[in-house]
Amino acid sequence: METTGLSHVILTVSDAERSRAFYQDVLGFEPRVLQPGPSGRFAFRSGGVGFFFYTHNRTASGDRFSEFRVGLDHLAFAAPSVEALEALAAKLIAAGVETQGVERFGERAIPYVAFRDPDQIQLEYWLAPAS
């Protein structure tokens, strides 16, 4: 397969309106509502990739994301600076979102922020290491 990158990601959520508010108000994305309401759909773009959020009438009541099932483990967004990581960590904490703030990974101590959306989908914000 020859490709120039990722085109889009579709995530299933339990309440589209609640998720849209989180991605817009807490994370600062500018979602476009495709179908209004809790059973609706919305989308936004980041880094040229489309992110689509759907609810399905077959979703089990009370279902939550688990990275321990086959499928997606987490999504990681690229951060432009350590200051951006620190600003997001502060915003998450102020919004009551559970996070450890800016953490460091591996020998190179790469800074990142890990947190979860309203459906427990793990999200991360990573500073790309210098080559």
To the question of domain 6-57 being in CATH 3.40.1370.10, the answer is: no
Q: Render each residue's pLDDT in the chain as its tens digit; 131 residues.
A: 887 788 999 998 888 999 999 999 999 999 999 998 878 899 999 999 999 999 876 656 666 666 666 578 899 999 999 999 999 999 999 999 999 999 999 998 999 999 999 989 999 999 976 55
Asked if domains 6-57 and 68-131 share a fold, the reply is yes
Exposure pattern of 21-59 as b/e (b: 16+ CB <10 Å)? ebbeebbebebeeeeeeeebbbbbeeeeeebbbbbeeee
**Count of Cβ atoms closer than 10 Å to residue 84 Cβ:** 14
Q: Which residues of 91-119 are buried (b: 16+ CB within 10 A; e: fewer)?
A: bbeeeebebeebeeeeeeeebbbbbbbbb
Q: From the options 3.30.70.2470, 3.90.550.10, 3.30.390.50, 3.10.180.10, give the CATH code of 68-131.
A: 3.10.180.10
